[in-house]
Amino acid sequence: MSRWCGLLWWLTALPSLPLALPLAILTRRSALRLAPAAGPRRGVAGADLPGEPLRLLLIGESTVVGVGASCLQHALVGRLAQALAARHGRPVEWRACGETGITVTQAGERLLPQVLDERIDLALLAFGVNDTAALTSTRRWQSSLVLMADELTARGVQVAFCGVPPLQYFSALPWLLRRLLGARAGLLDACLRQVAERSGVDYYPLRLRFSAAYLALDGFHPSSLGYRVWAQSLTAELSLPPTPVPALAAL
């Protein structure tokens, strides 16, 4: 099904490519480029709370490293860790492992090896914008997601996918690119949901209003407010791994 949907997208997009390609080059050259959020890429939220900490990993593209926010505490990973700690009354040890411009295939080669030896309870995978822009094939997109999810679940990690952001609402993009890339992002998101269902992995759509207040100055990434709203929606929906039961002291 995804293959035929991909072919349909190409048939729809082909007549627009002579205009869309130079427009994409111009947009890329003129785009405002924001740096990743400041601060260490590891931390603990709710350090004063009792209990075994939840070990949280976010791995993915620029949203994982907080592009659009001033610091990681105000980005998705920091806001999510704080909200989860408050909601569940336990510490959350978090790590952000991401890279601006990276695709899911590249992340499997460059980012995943950095975290495989760590103790992780829950891993959120956030990809899609760069694969949309790179016109990654649906087959490659799905196979790379499966490989990454399988590597983590084989090590006892609970894996969840964040939905692909809807590029049709990115104000930095001209109308034609919003239309073409928005449709492409929707296709990859549908493929992502298929992977999640087949792999028994949770999928969480991106519930965020893409108005000016929720977008950073570049019109492409979430603002600090956008990250906070995104984190709140994830906190309300996330299914967490069971809390470890403390071992009974020997009699």
DSSP string for residues in 15-45? GGHHHHHHHHHHHHHH---PPPPBS-SEEEE
Domain ranges for the chain, please list them.
2-9+44-237
DSSP state of 157: -
Flag whether pLDDT at 122 surpasses 60: yes
Flag whether pLDDT at 139 surpasses 60: yes
What is the model's pLDDT at position 208?
85
Flag whether pLDDT at 10 surpasses 50: yes
pLDDT band per the 50, 70, 90 thresholds, residue 251: very low
| pTM score of the predicted model | 0.90
What is the model's pLDDT at position 5?
66
Do the Cβ atoms of 206 and 230 come closer than 8 Å?
Answer: yes
Range 2-9+44-237 has CATH code 3.40.50.1110: yes
pLDDT band per the 50, 70, 90 thresholds, residue 248: very low
Which strands make up the sheet holding 92-98, listed edge to edge? 42-45, 92-98, 54-60, 122-126, 158-162, 202-204
What is the model's pLDDT at position 72?
97
What is the model's pLDDT at position 59?
99
| Over residues 149-157, mean pLDDT | 96
